[in-house]
């Protein structure tokens, strides 16, 4: 006969609270935002393109990876940074393994300090970089709190 001892509910609740608290603390740093608007007339979608955006916090070295599926012509996304200064280490759009645009919108950069961005994309999204327009506007702002305690 096997006797299983029940896991105490108080310990489980404490573990969940600690995990949530750690998560909240991990994202409570004020940071900058990248607001992305797309208004495509068409998207070459065989296969469906995906945009990978990798942002590294310049002081903590924390890396945030965003993956945006480009399935609709009109989109709005927000990418958050975790600190005052950050580096966009990758901005890549892929249509499967062969059609790739590296440094999409010319976002890959050196350290960007205290600036957020509005990124607007228009035109026909295809592997030809001349088929769409990308407008990037940087602006200084107060840090955006992701989570408040």
Look up the pTM and report it. 0.73
| pLDDT at 143 > cutoff 90 | no
At 72, give phi and psi (nearest 5°): -120, 155
pLDDT tens profile 28-44: 456 889 999 999 999 98
For domain 32-141, give the fold.
Immunoglobulin-like (2.60.40)
| 6 confidence band (pLDDT: 50, 70, 90) | very low
| pLDDT at 20 > cutoff 50 | no
Q: Mean pLDDT throughout 116-144?
A: 89
At 19, give phi and psi (nearest 5°): -65, -45
The answer to whether 87 and 55 have CB atoms below 8 angstroms apart is yes
Per-residue exposure over 1-11, b if at least 16 CB sit within 10 Å of its own CB, e if not? eeeeeeeeeee
Residue 45 has a pLDDT of 78
């Amino acid at each position: 006969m096997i006797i299983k001892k029940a896991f105490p509910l108080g310990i489980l609740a404490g573990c969940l609270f600690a995990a949530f608290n750690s998560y909240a603390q991990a994202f409570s740093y004020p940071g900058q935002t990248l607001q992305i608007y797309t208004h495509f007339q068409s998207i070459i979608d065989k296969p469906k393109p995906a945009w990978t955006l990798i942002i590294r916090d310049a002081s903590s070295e924390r890396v945030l990876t965003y993956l945006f599926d480009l399935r609709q012509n009109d989109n709005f996304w927000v990418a958050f940074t975790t600190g005052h200064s950050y580096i966009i280490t990758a901005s890549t759009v892929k249509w499967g393994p062969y059609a790739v645009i590296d440094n999409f919108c010319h976002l890959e950069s050196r350290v960007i300090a205290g600036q957020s961005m509005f990124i607007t994309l228009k035109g026909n999204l295809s592997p030809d970089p001349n088929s769409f327009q990308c407008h990037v506007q940087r602006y200084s702002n107060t840090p955006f709190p992701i989570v408040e305690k």
